[in-house]
Amino acid sequence: MWYVLELYAYPRILIMPCRKSKPNRYAFVGILLNILVILIVASPLIAAADDLLTVKVETVIDGDTIKVRYRGQRFLVRLWGIDTPEYHQPFSKVAKKYTVDLVKNSTVRLKKKDWDKYGRMVAIVTMEDGRCLNEELLKAGYSWVHIYYCREAICDKWKEYEKGARRKRIGLWRDNSPVPPWVHKRKQMRKKW
């Protein structure tokens, strides 16, 4: 004998047997197959998590974030160790355009450093010609070395690139007192409170 149970909180009709039945083997197999599919889809990123990845740049989100494709998967990459102006800051559009000009629709290599709280891979990006995108943004004066996250030996070299752009007054350094994005974000948070 069967009966119909209507769930009001979840609009679906369940048909359930009145008698006790054995655990459904097909449901268990279905769950295992779903887990297997998820692992297969995610495996390219998991397998290459510690290696250098060669990816195709699809879109530039802002000066320091790009959207890439790797083995059919799309994900966001945040440039490690640097920070470009935020959307409402001066030079944000110019920094984005500079990044677009360097890498849009090209193939780049990623050296993964971490994953951020937004689920983006944080990486050093090397362009097809061997130049480092992170460094090029510093040399052109469109980014700061991120004082909170860039604490490796390479950061000393990057700080020199930033100082060089500042001395030449190029990029965002044309402004008399550019505000680093992390300071800008703090000010915006204070305004909300």
Which of the residues are catalytic?
78, 86, 120
Q: What is the token pair recorded at 83? A: 């920070």
